[in-house]
C-alpha cells in the first residue's frame, strides 16, 4: 500500500541488492514511491534491480552513493559489511543514519561504535529470508509481519533509533530492540543451530543411513518441513558461521548433549522419553503459531476450500468486499480431488470474527479459536 505520509528518508543507498537488500528496496518503493534509492552491487545485479524497479539509480561507487544519502543500508554478507563500513563512515554525513541487515551483530556494532562516534549507526537484522538468494528472489512482501531486530549501541541517538524503528514498522515489519550480545546468543540457538541441524539430518538420512538414501521418496511432511532450510546455499551461511562461532558452538554443545541424553534413553528404556515429549510439547506451545506475529500474536482461522477453479479467488473476494486484510496465509494440507485446508491469520479477534462471518456467509467451512 502506498503511503501519503512524508517518508522519514528521501535518499536511501542500499549496498548489496540481493534477496534482503532488493526486497527492502522494493518494499520501500512500494510504500514510499517518492523515495530515491541508489543501489551498489555488481553491474549485472544492478541491471536486474533497475529492470524490476527495485532501485532508481545504479551507483558507480560507495563514496559517491553515500554522500547525499539520508539512510545507508549495508545489506551485503557480514564480512562484506565489515570491510565496507570504514568507507561508508569516511564519506557519509554525520546526520546520515547507517544500518545493516547482518544476522550477526556484536562484531559489526563493536566496529561501528569506533567509526561512528556521533552515534548514527544502528545495527539491524530482519528475521526474514528464503532458501533462495539473489535479486531474482527479492519480494516486497518479505518483511510483512516479520520480526525486525534493531541492536543499538549505548552511543546510539534515541531519536535516530525511533526514526529508524518507525520507518521499518511502516513496511509492516514488527520491531524488537535488544543489545548485540543477546541478539547473537539467541539467534545462534533459534536460527543458526536449526540450519546446521537441518543440514546434518539431511546428510545423515540421504548419505549415511544404510537404506534410506534410495528411499527418499518415502519422506513425508515432517521430514520435508524439518529439512526445508537444508537447501539454503552455503554462500549465505559461510560468513554467519564464522562470525558467530562462539555462540554457535555453545548452542551446538547444548543440542549434542540433549541428543546424547535421548540416545541413552532409547537404548535403555524408550518409555522414559515420555517426559521429553511432554516437555517439548509444552515448550513449543509457548511459541506463537505464526512466528510472523511474534510480538503481537495473530488470530487464526482454518478454512477448507473445495478442489475446483476459482475457490481461492472467491475466498479472497469475500474478505476484500468487507475490507478485511489477511496478515498471513498457509496451506496446511491438500487432498487431491477433494480440496485444501488453509490457515488464515488476522490482526486481532475482532477482525478474525468478521472474517469468519463473511466466509461462512459465502459458504466456506470455517473453524478457529477466536
Average pLDDT over residues 135-147: 86
Confidence at residue 328, expressed as pLDDT on a 0 to 100 scale: 80
Confidence at residue 335, expressed as pLDDT on a 0 to 100 scale: 61
Give the pLDDT band (50/70/90) at residue 223.
confident
Q: Give the domain ranges of the chain.
A: 11-179, 183-284, 298-368
What are the residues whose beta carbons fall under 8 Å from the beta carbon of 189, sequence distance 6 or more?
247, 251, 254
Average pLDDT over residues 241-257: 95
Span 346-370, pLDDT tens digits: 888 899 999 999 999 999 988 865 5
The CATH number of the structural domain formed by 11-179 is 3.40.50.720
Class of domain 183-284: mainly alpha
Average pLDDT over residues 25-46: 95
Give the pLDDT band (50/70/90) at residue 161.
very high
Does residue 298 contact residue 329 with C-beta atoms inside 8 Å?
Answer: no
Hey, how many other C-beta atoms are within 10 angstroms of the C-beta on 189? 16
Confidence at residue 112, expressed as pLDDT on a 0 to 100 scale: 95
Which pTM was predicted? 0.74
Average pLDDT over all residues of the chain = 89
Span 298-310, pLDDT tens digits: 688 888 888 888 9
The CATH number of the structural domain formed by 298-368 is 3.30.70.260
The label of the residue with cell 531519536 reads 159
Amino acid at each position: 500500500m502506498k503511503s501519503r505520509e512524508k517518508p522519514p528518508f528521501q535518499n536511501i543507498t542500499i549496498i548489496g541488492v540481493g534477496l534482503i537488500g532488493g526486497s527492502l528496496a522494493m518494499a520501500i518503493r512500494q510504500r514510499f514511491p517518492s523515495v530515491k534509492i541508489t543501489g551498489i552491487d555488481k553491474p549485472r545485479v544492478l541491471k536486474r534491480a533497475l529492470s524490476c524497479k527495485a532501485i532508481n539509480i545504479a551507483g558507480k561507487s560507495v563514496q559517491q552513493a553515500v554522500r547525499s544519502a539520508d539512510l545507508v543500508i549495508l545489506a551485503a554478507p557480514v564480512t562484506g559489511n565489515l570491510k565496507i563500513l570504514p568507507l561508508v563512515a569516511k564519506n557519509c554525513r554525520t546526520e546520515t543514519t547507517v544500518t545493516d541487515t547482518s544476522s550477526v551483530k556484536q562484531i559489526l556494532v563493536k566496529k561501528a561504535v569506533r567509526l561512528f562516534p556521533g552515534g548514527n549507526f544502528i545495527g539491524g537484522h530482519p528475521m526474514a529470508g528464503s532458501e533462495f538468494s539473489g535479486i531474482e528472489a527479492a519480494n516486497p512482501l518479505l518483511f510483512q509481519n516479520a520480526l525486525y531486530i534493531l541492536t543499538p549501541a549505548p552511543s546510539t541517538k534515541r531519536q535516530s533509533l525511533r526514526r529508524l524503528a518507525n520507518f521499518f514498522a511502516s513496511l509492516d515489519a514488527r520491531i524488537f530492540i535488544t543489545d548485540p550480545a543477546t541478539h547473537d546468543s539467541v539467534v545462534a540457538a533459534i536460527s543458526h543451530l536449526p540450519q546446521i541441524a537441518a543440514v546434518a539430518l539431511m546428510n545423515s538420512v540421504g548419505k549415511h543411513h544404510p537404506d534410506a538414501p534410495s528411499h527418499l521418496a518415502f519422506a513425508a511432511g515432517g521430514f520435508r518441513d524439518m529439512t526445508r532450510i537444508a537447501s539454503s546455499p552455503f554462500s549465505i551461511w559461510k560468513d554467519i558461521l564464522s562470525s558467530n562461532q562462539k555462540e554457535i558452538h555453545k548452542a551446538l554443545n547444548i543440542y549434542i548433549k540433549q541428543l546424547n541424553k535421548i540416545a541413552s534413553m532409547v537404548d535403555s528404556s524408550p518409555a522414559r522419553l515420555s517426559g521429553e515429549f511432554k516437555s517439548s510439547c509444552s515448550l513449543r506451545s509457548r511459541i506463537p503459531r505464526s512466528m510472523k506475529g511474534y510480538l503481537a500474536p495473530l488470530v487464526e482461522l482454518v478454512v477448507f476450500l473445495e478442489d475446483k477453479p476459482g475457490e481461492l479467488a472467491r475466498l479472497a473476494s469475500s474478505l476484500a468486499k468487507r475490507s478485511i486484510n489477511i496478515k498471513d496465509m498457509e496451506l496446511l494440507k491438500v487432498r487431491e480431488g477433494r480440496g485444501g485446508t488453509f490457515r488464515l491469520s488476522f490482526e486481532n479477534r475482532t477482525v478474525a470474527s468478521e472474517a469468519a462471518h463473511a466466509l461462512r456467509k459465502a459458504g466456506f467451512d470455517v473453524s478457529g479459536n477466536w
